[in-house]
Amino acid sequence: MQKVWKILDPAPKSFLEEHPELPPTAANLLYHRRITTSEKIDEFLNPDYLQDIFDPYLFRDMAKAVERIFRAIENKEKIIVHGDYDADGVSASVILVSTLKTLGANDVDVFLPHREIDGYGLNKYTVQTLAQQKTSLIITCDCGVSNFQEVKIANQNNIDVIITDHHGIPEKLPPAFAIIHPLLPGETYPDKGLCGGGVAFKLAQALLQKRQPENKDGWEKWLLDLVAIASVADMVPLLGESRTLTKYGLVVLNKTRRIGLQKLLLEARLTQEDGSKKRELDTYNIGFHIAPRLNAAGRMNHANTAYNLLITEDPIEATDLAYQLNQNNTERQKSTEELVKKAIAQVEAEQKNAPVLFIIGEGWPTGIIGLIAGKIKDKYYKPTLVMSRHENEIVGSGRSVEGFSLIGNLQEMPEVFHKFGGHPMACGFTLRDKDALGEFKIKLTEKFLAKTAVMDMIPSLPVDAKISLDDVSWELYDLLSKFEPFGQGNEKPKYLAENLEIYSLEPVGQEGKHLRIMIKTPTGKIRKTIGWSLCNGNGNETNWCKKLKPGDKIDLVFEIGVNEWNGNRELQLTIIDLKKC
């Protein structure tokens, strides 16, 4: 769907006068990101690990959780770290298991659920099995806050549960021994935007503070590569503490000691055989190369593959696991592409005018239905629920649009579900039974219509400023680099250039899916631009390779980056959106 370009208002004169040390371009970008006080500006532009990281004991239940964990270690109790099957949950699990082992826990193991067999979070069968194995302490990461009944069963089996999570808060909290969650009602921890890996890291940090010898040489900082991966993969806002953790995490990632990550970077062609990098790794590399491969394990097979890769110290095992993840990711890409086409066909045939899209497939892999939902939502800009029917069970995943909270509305109809969870923009669920499907469709559609009646549901694309291509320079690029790491809440700056003349264009890449356009600037210079997936009709309304020709005039919204190859560097303008004049 064509987006409406909205050029953001420049920073007011009063803001510029209040911060004369800032170049106008930087001041505008900070203003657009609502970073307006001197303290917040300094924290944003100059993240400092020692100053900007909060004391983990500010969490209300942290001291209680730490005391219980050390008691378990000293008494040689069996400890299970119960994670999740995505990159955030896997990274969080590695953070906690490696920390516990460093602190002397001899009987500690991990349990990662199988997406289709176990589902998300704790389930009663897993808890009962762990009880039979003489487990006395379960520590969850990236899950657990919605598992009231399962935690109750654990307690009945003499198992204490410590929950670390960041997902939506239910009406009724589970009776856990301790809950470490930034969004709990009355929670005293200042930063509310941590991912699951970030919350797990705070627990690790608190544990290590109690045993300083084990934290010599800043051992905790070597966990930050996993925090960066988790934060980017789970798309939490890269602001506040998450920004600082991610910034330092990227430093660690670029010199990671993890043999598994080293092999994965090689498999993803981000490094050479000798370990040298083609360029510094950034959030883009996490989001498009590292996280998809880690996620592919849980989507197509079992998350244990990703966990084992991140925790192994065996180079041979790491090589094999990295290869498996790459194969899983290739399979995931092919399956997603095929099923997106089927989902589009369903919409076009039955739901073209529906306000909320409900797509159901027979036996579709539950690991990729969320990806399908995201692509369909992007194409039609409507809340999209993609479901897979397996015998008598219907499992679904949803993606929403701005202004309509999925988890908030699902919490208003719990009677429809066997279980559910998620965030405002994404959810996962299992319906109560197959007969609940019709009820679910009616109720969610009614809620959407009632709550968005006065909202503008046309997608918009915020643009930071208009600019001439002649003003795109290395100096501007260097200034924008100070805003890294980019991600949710701090997206890469976008600029608009108008009435540009196409000098030449050609499809590039495998199968000619991408589009390279050479633009003639007002002063006669030639600028190279690249647009990803603009020629393959992959959910796009227009195949721009066929629609454009030399001499045409276009308007471009673009991002400024760098293309590096064979030791060369050049500025690269990445097309975000375009219109023919």
For residue 469, what is the DSSP state?
Answer: G
pLDDT band for position 540 (cuts 50, 70, 90): very low
Q: What is the pLDDT of residue 539?
A: 47
Q: What is the pLDDT of residue 392?
A: 83
Q: What is the pLDDT of residue 566?
A: 76
Residues 203/180, Cβ–Cβ less than 8 Å? yes
For 199, phi then psi, to 5°, come to -65, -40
* β-pair partners for 507: 515
Q: What is the pLDDT of residue 218?
A: 80
Mean of pLDDT over the chain: 94
Percent above pLDDT 70 for the chain: 98
Each residue's pLDDT tens digit, 49-84 = 999 999 999 999 999 999 999 999 999 999 999 999
Query: Cα–Cα distance between 140 and 25 in angstroms, integer?
Result: 44
Residues 262/216, Cβ–Cβ less than 8 Å? no
Q: Which two tokens stand for residue 190?
A: 């200042």
Position 489, amino acid: G
Each residue's pLDDT tens digit, 507-519 = 998 788 899 999 9
Each residue's pLDDT tens digit, 174-192 = 999 999 999 999 999 999 9
Burial pattern 107-131, b for ≥16 Cβ within 10 A else e, equals bbebbbbebeeebbbbbeebbeebb
Each residue's pLDDT tens digit, 410-427 = 999 999 999 888 889 999
Each residue's pLDDT tens digit, 8-54 = 999 999 999 999 999 999 999 999 999 999 999 999 999 999 999 99
Q: What is the pLDDT of residue 216?
A: 64
Q: What is the pLDDT of residue 295?
A: 97
Each residue's pLDDT tens digit, 92-122 = 999 999 999 999 999 999 999 999 889 889 9
Given a cut of 60, is residue 384 above it in pLDDT? Answer: yes
Into which CATH architecture does domain 56-220 fall?
Alpha-Beta Complex (3.90)
Each residue's pLDDT tens digit, 239-256 = 999 999 999 999 999 999
- Mean pLDDT over 487-515 rounds to 93
Query: Of the candidates 433, 361, 364, which has an alpha carbon nearest to the alpha carbon of residue 393?
Result: 433
Q: Which two tokens stand for residue 105?
A: 């826990």
- Mean pLDDT over 313-340 rounds to 97
Q: Report the CATH fold assignment for 351-451.
A: Diaminopimelate Epimerase; Chain A, domain 1 (3.10.310)
Q: What is the pLDDT of residue 455?
A: 80
Tell whether omega for the bond before 185 is within 30 degrees of 0, i.e. cis: no
Given a cut of 60, is residue 205 above it in pLDDT? Answer: yes
* Lowest-pLDDT choice from 118-127, 207-216, 240-249, 382-391: 207-216
Q: What is the pLDDT of residue 116?
A: 86
Given a cut of 70, is residue 217 above it in pLDDT? Answer: no
pLDDT band for position 215 (cuts 50, 70, 90): low
Q: Enumerate the domain spans of the chain.
A: 56-220, 351-451, 461-580
Each residue's pLDDT tens digit, 157-166 = 999 999 999 9
CA dihedral 443, 445, 446, 447 (to 10 degrees): 90
User: pTM for the full model?
Assistant: 0.92
CATH no. of 461-580 = 2.40.50.460
More confident residue, 211 or 476: 476
